[in-house]
Amino acid sequence: MKKVITLLLLCLTLPLAAQENKSLIDKALEYVQKDSLPQAEQLYKKAINASTNEKDNVKLYCSLALIQRQMKHYADAADSYTYALKVEPQSVSILLKRGAIYVAQGLASTALSDYNEALRLQPENKEALTVRAFLLFKRGEYAKARDDYHHLRLLDPNNFDARLGLALLAQKDKDFRSAMEQLNT
């Protein structure tokens, strides 16, 4: 009899836990709308701790990271995206967001790893190509940056970032005519 009662209570508490989690998320969204980000952050953390569904946690961690990024808590945001990537390691979107956090922190090498992985998963991703080319340019890896900018131009012949990057590379090579042609185009 005790087993039956325990099972019934467990079945009743699962929907209650899901409902409680939904109310935590709704309240967190209200705080976000009021620009009360620290309170929203705490509620998202409570929702994550209360959740047992890994897929739901990915969304919660991404929402938490966005709030942490807005508060300029970059290390915390990177950690939140990392937790989300543990569940969805093939998520290009999350890789790009974490890469952007690493760029904001000045961790170019770490960011480059995320952009490389994103491009391994989606070789035609324009955002990843653009940022990786920029990071490679900053590191002085001009040939690799040029390859990314050319790839970007193949995908989008009028891409402003690709043309600007190629113009800067031409300027580095002291090919001012080519640089001017890129800029004029």
pLDDT at residue number 77: 97
Lowest mean pLDDT among 12-16, 73-77, 166-170: 12-16
Lowest mean pLDDT among 5-14, 70-79, 136-145, 163-172: 5-14
pLDDT for residue 6 is more than 80: no
The residue ranking higher by pLDDT, 129 or 11, is 129
Contacting residues for 166 by C-beta, under 8 A, at least 6 apart: 146, 149, 150, 153, 182
Burial 35-55 (b: 16+ CB within 10 A, else e): eebeebbbbbbbbbeebeeee
pLDDT-derived band at 18, boundaries 50, 70, 90: low
Structure tokens at 96: 């790009």
**Closest to 20 measured CA to CA, from 45, 50, 61:** 50
What are the DSSP calls for the chain, one per residue? -HHHHHHHHHHHHHHHHHHHHHHHHHHHHHHHHTT-HHHHHHHHHHHHHH---HHHHHHHHHHHHHHHHHTT-HHHHHHHHHHHHHH-TT-HHHHHHHHHHHHHHT-HHHHHHHHHHHHHH-TT-HHHHHHHHHHHHHHT-HHHHHHHHHHHHHH-TT-HHHHHHHHHHHHHTT-HHHHHHHHH-
Contacting residues for 31 by C-beta, under 8 A, at least 6 apart: 37, 39, 40, 43
Mutual orientation of helices 92-105 and 74-87 as an angle, nearest 10°?
Answer: 160
**Rounded to two decimals, what is the model's pTM?**
0.82
pLDDT at residue number 152: 97
What digits encode the pLDDT tens for the residues 90-138?
Answer: 999 999 999 999 999 999 999 999 999 999 999 999 999 999 999 999 9
| Mean pLDDT of the residues in the chain | 86
Structure tokens at 103: 């760029």
Q: How far apart are CA 141 and CA 9, in angstroms?
A: 62
pLDDT-derived band at 50, boundaries 50, 70, 90: confident
Lowest mean pLDDT among 20-24, 78-82, 124-128: 20-24
